[in-house]
Structure 1
Amino acid sequence: MPSSSRRPSPSSSTPPGVDGPPEEEAWLSTPDLAARWKLPPKTIASWASSGAGPRFARLGRHRRYRLSDIRTWEFQQLEKTGPHSPTAAVSVRHDDETWLTSVELAARLQISARTLDSWATTGTGPRHARLGRHRRYRLADIRTWESQRLDATVTGHPTR
């Protein structure tokens, strides 16, 4: 016999045939944002307290970050890296929004992290964003940079 105090399952709270909110309207918590950028949650909280990070909304005692605001802030950080950066891809696939640390990118390229840091300083490496004191590389920009390097090598005019 079913109990009258039984709660509906989460899947039954959404009417059939109705999707969730559009991706741009999704909200991320501080731990979600920290995982996206591979930073400690305390860094995100510190930025929020000082007004240095992306825009957020206070929902009770919780901070929530709208995905569209995060993407805007990320793009602004990419633009700050300087004129040597390649142009941003206009259309970015969902999996290209992954951010890599310097160590992860160095492992992907099979180079030392010091070489990657040197490239970032001289502007010869892939486009990066400074998130506080942390350097992060977006997968879309890495793929663009790799493609440019491959194209230049194939045509016989290697780029720096």
Structure 2
Amino acid sequence: MDTERGTADNPWGLEPLLDVGELAGYLGVPVSTVYDWRTRGLGPRAYRFGKHLKFAVSDVRIWVEQQRDTEPPASSGRR
């Protein structure tokens, strides 16, 4: 992502940040799950601005990739 030049949607040229609700919606989990992950040290890295948490899109992408199940599905022997 080119962060040097701004665009009409992002005039500062900064990486987009997601709030807790946006992250939960993207992942398809309740907001409470995102907060639970934070208290347990799980989930993507976040920035804190006062009482607000923000998640960089690049950090979310990295974290999502780390969650990929590398094990093949267990075969049940059925076809």
TM-score (norm 2): 0.75
* Aligned-CA RMSD value: 1.9
**2:74 counterpart residue number:** 122
Q: Distance in 2 between matches of 1:49 and 1:68?
A: 21
Q: Helix, strand or coil for the counterpart of 1:36? A: helix
Higher-Rg member (1/2): 1
| Deviation for aligned residue 1:82 | 2.1
**2:3 counterpart residue number:** none
Q: Distance in 1 between matches of 2:27 and 2:44?
A: 12
**1:29 counterpart residue number:** 19
Identity level (%): 31
**1:56 counterpart letter in structure 2:** A
Q: Distance in 2 between matches of 1:49 and 1:57?
A: 14
**1:102 counterpart residue number:** none
Greater relative CO (CA pairs within 8 A, separation 6+): 2
1:67 aligns with 2:70: no
Query: Size of the alignment, in residue pairs?
Result: 67
Q: Which runs of 4+ in 1 moved over 6 A?
A: none
Structure with more helix by fraction: 1
Q: Which of residues 23, 36, 47 in structure 1 aligns to 2:37?
A: 47
Q: Distance in 1 between matches of 2:58 and 2:36?
A: 21
**2:57 counterpart letter in structure 1:** L
TM-score (norm 1): 0.39
